[in-house]
């Protein structure tokens, strides 16, 4: 027992150490985290140092990384906007799968393979890697771009296609497929998905209200994880993939005011497990077989990627997409995905595929994943250098965020931290001026009342880095601190300034001393809540005493300017503001 525990501990330490050392190096070289994880896995795996030999055991845990990734993506979607994308998902996605599979099928027949084997290979290679593509998109901030929308539409259709393709593989392998059972399974799937979405819309928020009322953050996190895994399990039990189930769990929460906090709580799980998923791919590379057939496997990999990229590019252009966006999308999706591992492994175990063919195909998939980040990076560099989009070719849909953006695009928005008396007034004025903003608050009753009046307020701790990330702080025009808790204000400023050094921060301060402290921490501007009340009262007193409005405004403005100017130096030197008592 102790030996087994020690074995697992060594594996965990090796995985963490490789991540800490190798991934930052690849970030430094601007090659991205994915290649870093693949390299780390290859080094630790059976063909590297051999520290981890039971790759299959690790891969079972790593699959949860893909599950949490799809959940995060689902939570960022709106079911209404997703429905608007149905033509893109079905039209572009289905066309890509069928046409790519047809081309690969024809090529396999030319190589002398049987029709059955050719069908399995064609569909196994036609699907791209959801985890890989979404992670690459996220690294480049492209989830909400035109390229991101189109790429995700194709990936979503591919995830849906997994179930019938597995059934097709089983049928080709000689298994019995009952048509009536298949029809019932489809009906059960539709009923289950509809039921879950209705639960998410009408029952989930009241349950979460009760959880939040307990003021126990650990229970809240546990409920979030429970929701993801239970829905994923439910979908798997009716024949769908767990990844698709996790995506549906995200959709259930897409319109919840708790979604930012839940996303922040899930992000750490997703990051670690998704990295582990990519490491298991690196561990699974059979370098012995690769060296023996290096030229053939590289040629097959390049032929596969060229075929997929060409099909997607042509379909994108026929769909009216610009040249540069079509190129980026086609190259991003040119690799084959993790479903190929499952499909070819199943086909080999059932005797449909010979083992050496299955292993060679798995190597082709892995190499296509390795090549993709390099190809995407090179293509982006070339497009930036040589391609200038023609403004006449940019359709209204490229600029209109209201028509077809299915991922909430909050670029250029204001983040309002705190929605108490001050924050609510700021929010009301921003609404009146039609300024796009997101407000974050921790008071459950306050949030419910505000949302009932149409204010975009979400539950979350604004001093949590993951909450700010979920609120798209990297794309925010500015961040406004309207919190009424001094400790929280002092905690959030260094966090924002460290993570988002160029984002303007405007903060509420208690007094002049606090203004100086916040300016020293990097706040762009501060407003003292005690000063403005004093000045407004003084203005009424002066006007009531017969002082002219011009002279009154002059006195008030001079005092305000003296109060805020060089506030740090004045506090440090213990200098008194005009007419103010020293303390």
Model pLDDT, residue 569: 61
Are 422 and 361 contained in the same domain?
no
Min mean pLDDT across 34-38, 75-79, 153-157, 293-297 is at 75-79
Q: What is the pLDDT of residues 269-299, one digit of tens each?
A: 777 887 888 788 788 777 888 888 889 999 9
Residue 404 lies in a domain: no
Are 456 and 521 contained in the same domain?
yes
Are 229 and 169 contained in the same domain?
yes
The encoded tokens of residue 511 equal: 């007094």
Question: Any idea which residue has 């903060």 for tokens?
Answer: 507
Q: Which positions ≥6 away from 234 have C-beta within 8 Å?
A: 192, 196, 245
Are 354 and 491 contained in the same domain?
no
Are 37 and 103 contained in the same domain?
yes
Structural Rg of the chain based on CA atoms: 28
Model pLDDT, residue 187: 75
Mean pLDDT for the stretch of residues 545-566? 83
Res 21 pLDDT > 80: yes
Q: What is the pLDDT of residues 498-507, one digit of tens each?
A: 888 889 999 9
Bridge partners, residue 457, by sequence: 439
Give me the count of residues in the chain: 583
Q: Taking the model in full, what pTM does it have?
A: 0.63
pLDDT band at 166 (very low <50, low <70, confident <90, very high): low
Are 368 and 502 contained in the same domain?
no
Q: Which of 385, 404, 424 is the last residue of a domain?
A: 385
Mean pLDDT for the stretch of residues 102-125? 91
pLDDT band at 546 (very low <50, low <70, confident <90, very high): confident
Mean pLDDT for the stretch of residues 28-32? 72
Q: What is the pLDDT of residues 559-572, one digit of tens each?
A: 878 777 766 565 65
Are 446 and 301 contained in the same domain?
no
Residue 179 lies in a domain: yes
Q: Which of 334, 369, 385 is the last residue of a domain?
A: 385
Model pLDDT, residue 402: 33
Model pLDDT, residue 103: 94
Are 246 and 309 contained in the same domain?
yes
CATH code, domain carrying 519: 3.40.50.720
Are 458 and 380 contained in the same domain?
no
Res 159 pLDDT > 70: yes
d(CA 513, CA 517): 6
Res 410 pLDDT > 60: no
Question: Any idea which residue has 């390099």 for tokens?
Answer: 374
Q: Which positions ≥6 away from 455 have C-beta within 8 Å?
A: 419, 424, 427, 428, 431, 439
Number of domain units in the chain: 2
d(CA 73, CA 329): 18
Res 308 pLDDT > 90: yes
Residue 15 lies in a domain: yes
Q: Which positions ≥6 away from 20 have C-beta within 8 Å?
A: none
Mean pLDDT for the stretch of residues 347-363? 82
Are 284 and 431 contained in the same domain?
no
Q: What is the pLDDT of residues 182-206, one digit of tens each?
A: 556 667 777 888 888 888 878 888 8
Mean pLDDT for the stretch of residues 16-28? 85
Q: What is the pLDDT of residues 415-457, one digit of tens each?
A: 999 998 889 989 988 888 888 999 999 888 888 888 888 888 8
Are 377 and 418 contained in the same domain?
no
Residue 224 lies in a domain: yes
pLDDT band at 394 (very low <50, low <70, confident <90, very high): very low
- Which string of DSSP letters, residue by residue, matches 473-540? GGG-SEEEE--S-HHHHHHHHHHHHHH-TTS-EEEEESSHHHHHHHHHTT-SEEEEHHHHHHHHHHHH
C-alpha 146, offset from chain centre: 16
Q: Which positions ≥6 away from 28 have C-beta within 8 Å?
A: none
% pLDDT > 90, the chain:
10
- Which string of DSSP letters, residue by residue, matches 389-448? --GGG--HHHH-HHHH--B---TT-EEEE--SHHHHHHHHHHHHTT--EEEEE--HHHHH
d(CA 567, CA 312): 59
For residue 168, give its domain range.
2-385
Q: Which positions ≥6 away from 118 have C-beta within 8 Å?
A: 104, 105, 108, 109
Q: Which positions ≥6 away from 151 have C-beta within 8 Å?
A: 133, 137, 329, 332, 333
Model pLDDT, residue 575: 53
CB atoms near residue 265 (< 10 Å): 23
Min mean pLDDT across 119-123, 463-467, 574-578 is at 574-578
Dihedral sign for Cα atoms in the order 72, 77, 79, 83: negative
Q: Which positions ≥6 away from 66 have C-beta within 8 Å?
A: 130, 131, 243, 274, 277, 338
67-to-245, 249, 533 alpha-carbon distances in Å: 8, 10, 52
Min mean pLDDT across 80-89, 291-300, 485-494 is at 80-89
Residue 73 lies in a domain: yes
Residue 274 lies in a domain: yes
Model pLDDT, residue 391: 45
Q: Which of 364, 385, 406 is the last residue of a domain?
A: 385
Over the chain, what is the mean pLDDT? 79
CATH code, domain carrying 364: 1.20.1530.20
Nearest to 509 by CA among 484, 492, 479, 535: 484
Are 118 and 259 contained in the same domain?
yes
Residue 485 lies in a domain: yes
Residue 177 lies in a domain: yes
The encoded tokens of residue 506 equal: 């405007």
């Amino acid at each position: 027992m102790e030996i087994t525990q020690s074995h697992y501990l060594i594996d965990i330490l090796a995985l963490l150490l490789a991540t800490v050392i190798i991934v930052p190096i690849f970030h430094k070289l601007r090659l991205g985290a994915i290649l870093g994880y693949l390299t780390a896995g290859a080094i630790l795996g059976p063909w590297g140092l051999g520290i981890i030999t039971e790759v299959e055991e690790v891969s079972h845990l790593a699959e949860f990384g893909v599950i949490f990734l799809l959940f995060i993506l689902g939570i960022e979607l709106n079911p209404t906007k997703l429905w608007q994308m149905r033509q893109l998902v079905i039209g572009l996605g289905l066309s890509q799968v069928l046409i790519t599979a047809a081309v690969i099928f024809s090529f396999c027949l030319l190589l002398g393979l049987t029709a059955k084997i050719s069908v399995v290979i064609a569909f196994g290679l036609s699907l791209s890697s959801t985890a890989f593509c979404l992670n690459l998109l996220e690294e480049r901030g492209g989830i909400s771009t035109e390229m991101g929308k189109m790429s995700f539409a194709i990936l979503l259709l591919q995830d849906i296609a997994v179930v019938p393709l597995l059934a097709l593989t089983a049928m080709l392998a000689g298994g019995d497929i009952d048509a009536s059972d298949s029809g019932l399974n489809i009906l059960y799937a539709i009923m289950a998905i509809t039921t879950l979405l209705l639960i998410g819309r009408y029952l989930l928020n009241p349950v979460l209200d009760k959880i939040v009322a307990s003021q126990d953050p650990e229970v809240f996190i546990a409920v979030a994880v429970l929701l993801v895994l239970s829905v994923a399990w439910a979908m798997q039990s009716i024949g769908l993939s767990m990844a698709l189930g996790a995506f549906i769990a995200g959709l259930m929460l897409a319109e919840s005011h708790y979604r930012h906090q839940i996303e922040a709580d899930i992000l750490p799980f997703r990051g670690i497990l998704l990295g582990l998923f990519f490491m298991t791919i690196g561990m699974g590379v059979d370098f012995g077989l690769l060296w023996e057939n290096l030229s053939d496997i590289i040629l097959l990999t390049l032929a596969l990627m060229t075929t997929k990229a060409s099909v997607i590019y042509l379909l994108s252009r026929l769909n009216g997409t610009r040249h540069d966006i079509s190129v980026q999308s086609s190259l991003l999706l040119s690799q084959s995905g993790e479903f190929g591992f499952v499909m070819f492994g199943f086909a080999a175990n059932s005797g449909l595929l010979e083992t050496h063919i299955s292993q060679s195909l798995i190597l082709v998939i892995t190499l296509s994943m390795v090549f993709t980040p390099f190809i995407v990076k090179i293509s982006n560099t070339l497009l930036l250098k040589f391609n200038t989009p023609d403004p006449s070719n940019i359709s209204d849909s490229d600029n209109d965020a209201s028509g077809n953006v299915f991922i909430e695009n909050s670029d250029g928005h204001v983040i309002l931290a705190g929605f108490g008396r001050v924050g609510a007034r700021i929010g009301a004025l921003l609404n009146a001026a039609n300024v796009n903003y997101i407000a974050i608050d921790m008071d459950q009753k306050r949030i419910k009342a505000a949302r009932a009046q149409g204010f975009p307020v979400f539950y979350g701790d604004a001093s949590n880095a993951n909450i700010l990330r979920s609120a798209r702080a990297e794309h925010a025009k500015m961040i406004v601190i309207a919190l009424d808790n001094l400790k929280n204000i002092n905690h959030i400023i260094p966090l924002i300034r460290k993570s988002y050094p160029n984002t303007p921060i405007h903060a509420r301060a208690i007094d002049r001393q606090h203004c100086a402290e916040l300016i020293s921490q990097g706040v762009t501007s501060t407003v003292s809540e005690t000063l403005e009340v004093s000045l407004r009262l003084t203005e009424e007193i002066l006007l009531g005493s017969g002082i002219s409005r011009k002279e009154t405004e002059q006195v008030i403005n001079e005092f305000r300017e003296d109060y805020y100017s060089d506030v740090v130096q004045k506090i440090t030197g213990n200098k008194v503001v005009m007419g103010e008592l020293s303390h």
